[in-house]
Amino acid sequence: MTTGRQKPGLSGRRDEPAQPIGIFDSGVGGLSVAKEIRELLPGEDLLYFADSRYCQYGEKPPDFIRERSFAITRFLLARGCKMIVVACNTASEAALSALRDAFPAVPFVGVEPAVKQAALHTKKQRVGVLATALTLAGNRFSALVERFASGLTVVTQPSPGLVEAVEAGRLEAEETETLLKMYLQPLLDHDVDVIVLGCTHYPFLRPLVEKIAGPEIKVLDTGKPVARQVMRVLERRGLLSPRQEGGKESFFTSGLPERVAPVLRRLWPRPVPEVIPVDE
Nearer to ligand DGL, 41 or 166 (CB): 166
Nearer to ligand DGL, 135 or 254 (CB): 135
In angstroms, rounded to a whole number, what is the distance separating the alpha carbons of residues 44 and 18? 8
Q: How far is the CB of 17 from ligand DGL (least distance, A)?
A: 28
In angstroms, rounded to a whole number, what is the distance separating the alpha carbons of residues 278 and 76? 11
Q: How far is the CB of 175 from ligand DGL (least distance, A)?
A: 18
Nearer to ligand DGL, 163 or 187 (CB): 163
Q: Which of 34, 37, 72, 88 is catalytic?
A: 88
Q: How far is the CB of 245 from ligand DGL (least distance, A)?
A: 28
| Cβ 157 vs Cβ 128: under 8 Å | yes
Nearer to ligand DGL, 73 or 135 (CB): 135
| Cβ 49 vs Cβ 81: under 8 Å | no
Residue nearest to ligand DGL (CB): 58
Site residues, ligand DGL (CB under 6 A)? 25-26, 29, 55-58, 88-90, 132, 135, 163, 199-201
Q: How far is the CB of 91 from ligand DGL (least distance, A)?
A: 7
Q: How far is the CB of 134 from ligand DGL (least distance, A)?
A: 7
- What is the DSSP code (8-state) at residue 238? T
Q: For the chain, where are the alpha helices, taking DSSP H only?
A: 8-11, 31-40, 62-78, 89-102, 115-121, 133-137, 139-148, 162-167, 174-189, 206-213, 223-236, 257-267
Q: How far is the CB of 35 from ligand DGL (least distance, A)?
A: 14
199 is catalytic: yes
81 is catalytic: no
| Cβ 135 vs Cβ 90: under 8 Å | yes
Nearer to ligand DGL, 111 or 239 (CB): 111
In angstroms, rounded to a whole number, what is the distance separating the alpha carbons of residues 262 and 270? 13
| Cβ 252 vs Cβ 278: under 8 Å | yes
Q: Which of 23, 184, 199, 220 is catalytic?
A: 199
In angstroms, rounded to a whole number, what is the distance separating the alpha carbons of residues 260 and 275? 8
In angstroms, rounded to a whole number, what is the distance separating the alpha carbons of residues 250 and 275? 8
In angstroms, rounded to a whole number, what is the distance separating the alpha carbons of residues 196 and 38? 22
Bridge partners, 219 (sequence order): 195
Catalytic residues: 88, 199
